[in-house]
Amino acid sequence: MSDFHQGGIVTTLHQLGKPSLERLETELCQFAKTRPMALVLPALFSEFEGPAMPGIVRELAKVKYLNEIVLVLDKASLQDFARARAFMAPIATEVKIIHNDGKRISEIYETFARHGFHVGERGKGRSVWLAYGYVLARARSQVIALHDCDIVTYSRELLARLCYPIASPTLDFVFCKGYYSRVSSKLNGRVTRLLVTPLVQALQQLVGAQGFLVFLSNFRYPLAGEFCMVAELARVNRIPWDWGLEVGSLAEVYRNYSPRRVCQVDIAANYDHKHQVLSAEDASQGLMRMTVDICKSIFRTLASEGVVFSDGLFRSLLVAYLRRAEDTIMKFEADAAINGLQFDRHEEAMAVESFTRAIGLACQAFMDAPMATPLIPNWNRVSTAIPDIFEMLQLAVSADNK
């Protein structure tokens, strides 16, 4: 049974009892008449060959309230692009696929570079940003939802619950973050459990109840890749192109909107997706790279809010984090025990040791280049500098999808 606790500055929308999916979808169809909704799907072509995407397509084929679906396809040849289009054909909603490796989209990226815009390296962040630009260019949707394409437990109820708080005309939210349980035969979600939560607690211990840290600590799953927003937010927010996408997006929401207009919603009883390897010995891969990017994103946001970092503070942070993380392991061991779940304390401790090293690398990288940022310019700035960019983007995607 879910709790109904409201204890922070961010509204939590729980899953209480057995909500009717039919009721949700019926109301969303009514909402869509005045607040049309778009769904953005960042995908690698390899995900079309995995176990998740077939189930996602089957579920999306049953959704009636979406106005458009924009899928950004990365690491795909022309033949892969054609196969992806055929794969998405069962969906009745209009689907547009942005071929990130195609000639026309490559020319769009070259246009950005000629005008002095660095839009980052290939990855989820850049793909999401480009999809937002395309939705804004079409000006057909007022709400934009986003979820990953590697969710093997996908249900269309996830999408309905994600969209509802933003699409509803009677609820005054501009941003909604999904959360869920990450449990199989064991506790998953190591980066959230063993990195972000104890790191935020350690930072609060050292710098006090700073506003962004309080905001971040209110989210039950801050690294969830599922969120929904009003289209205007996609226009004004800057997002990172690296693994700091989720935390960086929350930082921009915090910067531009009152927490009163932000919520989190329970979107799934359980959630499973592709698991990243820890890659403890290589900070350029797997969870280690993710950890470094997440930490740098947090440090940059705090610095922009006036927190002064020093070598001494970072040394104290490593010690404080390690102590908090060790205490966290004990809590999760007890939680696993009472629920009969597998729990490898040695594996958890090794993850914490790896995360500690990654935090140290992030501290050093931040001190070496505090002004370095992976944030992509927002679409307001880009469209001002390149007035016809939206038209160019529409023409490129339309030509590819003929």
Domain-embedded: residue 4: no
Domain-embedded: residue 2: no
Query: How far is Cα 197 from Cα 349, in angstroms, rounded to an integer?
Result: 15
Q: Which domain holds residue 207?
A: 11-400
Domain-embedded: residue 153: yes
Exposed/middle/buried for 331, CB within 10 Å: 0-12, 13-18, 19+?
Answer: exposed
Interhelix angle 389-400/103-114, rounded to 10 degrees, is: 160
Domain-embedded: residue 283: yes
B/e letters for 76-105, b = 16+ CB within 10 Å, e = fewer, are beeebbeebbebbeebebebbbbbbbbebb
Q: What 3-state class would DSSP assign to 333?
A: helix
Residue 273's closest CA among 194, 181, 347? 181
Domain-embedded: residue 184: yes
Q: 169-225, pLDDT tens digit by residue?
A: 999 999 999 999 888 888 988 999 999 999 999 999 999 999 999 999 999 999 999
Domain-embedded: residue 6: no
Asked if residues 353 and 345 have their Cβ atoms less than 8 Å apart, the reply is: no
In this structure, what CATH number is given to the domain that contains residue 99? 3.90.550.10
Domain-embedded: residue 108: yes
Exposed/middle/buried for 176, CB within 10 Å: 0-12, 13-18, 19+?
Answer: buried
Asked if residues 198 and 324 have their Cβ atoms less than 8 Å apart, the reply is: yes
DSSP H or E run through 33? none
Number of structural domains found in the chain: 1
Q: 297-339, pLDDT tens digit by residue?
A: 999 999 999 999 999 999 999 999 999 999 999 999 999 999 9
pTM tops 0.85, yes or no: yes
| 145 pLDDT more than 80 | yes
Domain-embedded: residue 5: no
